[in-house]
Structure 1
């Protein structure tokens, strides 16, 4: 199941890792362990953020994607299920439209 993991990273403790020179090591370690399909680092509401595309096999794996961010950075994490165009084609929208007219 493909998901977007939206991460909002507070200034602290991130700034402390930048100041002590360990941020590159820390930021390499988490995605390396997660092996996301894609990872983008961006600004979110004036702070640091990241958006990862992940593929957990089952819902019980989601804590393994969130906990490193929670424990390392006190970050907020949001999960969203996402579909590729071919996934949407398999969704049966025509049938759902007929059923819920």
Structure 2
């Protein structure tokens, strides 16, 4: 299941990891584990943020998806199932007019 993961890093934790030089290693490890389809890093409302698009086998994978960000980065995490345009088209095709 394609999943959008929004991550907002805790400023104090991120500052410490940047200062001691470990943030690149932590993020590299997370990227290696997640193997995201896409990854974006940006500032939002004055906070360091990232968005990842990952493949999640099922809902039981949510804890292993989120825990590393909570434990290593004290991050806020939002998880959203999502789809690409082709998947949306397939889903809409399944609706049929009789559904309404």
Residue 44 of structure 2: aligned partner? 44
Partner Cα separation in structure 2 for residue 7 and residue 24 of structure 1: 16
Partner Cα separation in structure 2 for residue 86 and residue 69 of structure 1: 30
Instruction: Say yes or no: does 1:99 pair with 2:83.
Output: no
Deviations 1:40-64 (A, max 9, x none): 1111221000000011111101111
Q: CA deviation at 1:9?
A: 0.7
Residue 54 of structure 2: aligned partner? 54
Q: CA deviation at 1:94?
A: 5.0
Partner Cα separation in structure 2 for residue 34 and residue 99 of structure 1: 37
Report the 3-state secondary structure (helix = DSSP H, G, I; strand = E; otherwise coil) of the residue aligned with 1:36: coil
Partner Cα separation in structure 2 for residue 33 and residue 94 of structure 1: 36
Count how many residue pairs are aligned between Structure 1 and Structure 2: 99
| Alignment TM-score, normalising by the size of structure 1 | 0.89
| Alignment TM-score, normalising by the size of structure 2 | 0.89
Residue 8 of structure 1: aligned partner? 8
Q: CA deviation at 1:99?
A: 2.5
* Runs of 4+ with deviation above 4 angstroms: none
Partner Cα separation in structure 1 for residue 95 and residue 23 of structure 2: 49
Gaps of 5+ in 1: none
Report the 3-state secondary structure (helix = DSSP H, G, I; strand = E; otherwise coil) of the residue aligned with 1:18: helix
Gaps of 5+ in 2: none
